[in-house]
Amino acid sequence: MFSDRTNWNLTPNRLSEALAQHRATGKPLLDLTASNPTEVGFAYDSQAILQALSNPAALTYRPDPKGSMSARHAVALYCADRGASLSIDTIILTTGTSEAYSFVFRTLCNPGDEILVPTPSYPLFDFLANIQDVHLIRYPLVYDNGWQIDFQSLEAAITPRTRGIIVVHPNNPTGHFARPEDIAKLNQICSSREMAIIADEVFLDFSAVSNPAVSFAGNKGALTFTMSGLSKISGLPQMKVAWIVTSGPSQRQARARLEVIADTYLSVSTPAQLATPLLLGERRAFQNQVMSRLRANLNELDRQLSAQTSCSRLAVEGGWYAVLRVPATRSDEDLAIELLARDGVYVHPGHFYDFRGDGFLVVSLIAPERDFAEGIRRLMAKFEAN
């Protein structure tokens, strides 16, 4: 009765079961996986946001497959702020970066075609690709005083069915940016093989290093789909507004195809599109709060790390997460379950993000500062006691 592609194993994993059990007891939880910006104590200008959502123009339906001019104009201004000056014709709105991936996969791939994806990275890719009948092929990121793309393995993973390479800039959870030399190499690889770059820039604005990273939105060296949205930029995932910027060779044909897909769904609601200029403008106030929390939590983490010898952290260039290196005395999953059950601290095991080997935990740097400090204290106490 059902498609093979939906034949997922939906039994909860041991960690989700442990989390459900913990929640059922009503005991307090220090959630160091918290990544929903609307629930970690940031202040929003509620009045301005609600007012923008009640624009009387929302009572008329005037669909534009690419999204309204005013919303796309606001996105173009945002991109200009990130160093990419572009025409609003290059922008197509979607309800999320996740939907943007689906549209791009649909534009590039026949069933069974392949997309290269970094590992470790964001776990949702598997579902996004699976639903679109796309095969994900992983290319490794290697850590040596900082993360780098293993280009030799990346090139070895390319087959005649490879249609594109995903770059998460900065990556979740490794927090590293693509460097200018990486971009040049990706351009060379993709342009010589008729492949596209799919650049996910949802965390681009959250840089922990002094040189601001350049957006892929102005990239011309290969066909490039650059995606971002309000979820992270303005901390408003519930607004369901994101976008794809198309640049580089064959961009016109790519856009014409994307536009038909977008026209088929017309998925972004009129009230959200009308509010987009204001919601994007709200990013500065939001990002100031996030940046100060990221700095405070990272400082606290380093302060606690410097007082012990068992754990360390990997370099963070940007994004909302830190990767901890901990003694691999048991599997990451067992460790995360024990932390939850005995210490009331919830962290993500590295294997959730496809880290090779045990000994990695991922913590969210946007968790409220007190929870973060106490959660890290309990986590480290575990290793000091052992």
- Per CB under 6 A, 287 contacts ligand PLP: no
- Length reported for the chain: 386
> DSSP character for 336?
H
Question: With binding defined as CB under 6 A, does residue 129 bind ligand PLP?
Answer: no
When binding is defined by CB under 6 A, the residue of 33, 36, 55, 98 that contacts ligand PLP is 98
Confirm or reject binding of residue 229 to ligand PLP (CB under 6 A): yes
Report in angstroms how near the CB of residue 93 gets to ligand PLP at its nearest: 11
Phi, psi of 347 (to 5 degrees): -130, 160
Of 23-31, 40-48, 64-72, 94-102, which segment contacts ligand PLP by CB under 6 A? 94-102
- 231 counts as binding ligand PLP under rule CB under 6 A: yes
Nearest to 92 by CA among 106, 81, 111: 106
Q: Is 304 in the site for ligand PLP (CB under 6 A)?
A: no
Taken in order 54, 59, 64, 70, is the CA torsion positive or negative?
Answer: negative
Using CB under 6 A, which of 18, 165, 202, 239 touches ligand PLP? 202
- Closest approach of ligand PLP to the CB of residue 236, in Å: 10
Cα 102 from Cα 99, distance rounded (Å): 5
371 binds ligand PLP (CB under 6 A): no
What is the CA 244 to chain-centroid distance, rounded?
14
Segment interacting with ligand PLP (CB under 6 A) among 90-98, 135-143, 150-158, 213-221: 90-98
Select the residue whose beta carbon is closest to ligand PLP and give its number: 96
- Determine how many CB atoms are found less than 10 A away from the CB of residue 377: 15
DSSP string, 67-108: --HHHHHHHHHHHHHTT----GGGEEEES-HHHHHHHHHHHH
Residue 174 found at the interface with ligand PLP (CB under 6 A): no
Single out the residue of 177, 200, 173 nearest to residue 364, CA to CA: 173
The DSSP element (H or E) to which 8 belongs, if any, is none
Q: Of the ranges 81-89, 108-116, 133-141, 229-237, which one interacts with ligand PLP (CB under 6 A)?
A: 229-237
Q: Which positions touch ligand PLP (CB under 6 A)?
A: 96-98, 122, 168, 172, 200, 202, 229, 231, 237, 242
